[in-house]
Copies of this chain bind each other. A is one copy, B any other.
Amino acid sequence: MISPARQSEFKQLFPFIKRCNPAFIEMFFAQAQYVELPAGAAICDEGQICAHLALVIEGIGRVYKLSPAGREVTLYRIYGGESCVLTASCIMNQDSFPAMAVSETAIRGLLINPANVKDWFCRDDEWQRFIFRLLSHRLSDIISVVEEVAFKRIDVRLAEQFVKSLDQGKSTINKTHADIAADVGSSREVVSRILRDFVLRGLIKSSRGSIEIIDSQAILDLAQQ
């Protein structure tokens, strides 16, 4: 049973629940389980069968692929108000999880039992819509990753990352070159080289573990390509 305070917090982030019928809402909060995770916790290992569907209230989760050689690509991130679809699809047919997931920050959220996820599907139209929307958004997220990796130059993709930060009002990115490389699926050396060029061209300032965007217009232009 979820406390009333957490319930209203949840409703803020997941508006669909407010459109569900009262009986469903009651059942939902009765069955859901509240959890907290520290930053950097492994949520799902490759091949592991997922135990629950997670709905994130606060924090950021990162879902990624890991190569045998140790390289990484981020498939997508899970923010507050979202849920791990891979988990969802795994729950639906008991497959194993085809990627890894970690908490990038501390995470708070609700866990739903797999049996409930499926059972509720026909109990409430809004719940169904919510799950479907999630699945299809993730599908297109991952397709964009294919597009990025297959077609775009890395300098352009780095610029895109910076633009995302700018959109969130942050002109400083606190990440190491290795972090960024893992994000875009490249290697640290390549990222370092390109960032060195960015520094020389006056687009950014770089220091240990953080990057400051100087010429945001040039970054925007580059990301445009």
A residues touching B (Cβ–Cβ < 8 Å)? 65, 67-69, 71, 73, 75, 85-86, 89-90, 92-93, 95, 98-99, 121-122, 128-129, 132-133, 135-136, 138-140, 142-147, 149-151, 185
Contact = CB atoms under 8 A, between A and B. Distances in A.
A30 B151 CA distance: 44
B90 A136 contact: yes
Given A73-B146, A86-B139, A151 B121 contact: no
Contacts of A98: 139-140, 143-144
A101 B67 CA distance: 29
Contacts of A122: 121-122, 128
What is the count of identical protomers in the complex?
2
A125 to B, nearest CB: 9
Given A75-B146, A139-B98, A151 B69 contact: yes
A185 B148 CA distance: 12
B146 A65 contact: yes
Contact of A71 (B65, B121, B150): B150
- Residue of A67, A68, A95, A149 with most chain B CB atoms under a 10 A cut-off: A149
A66 to B, nearest CB: 9
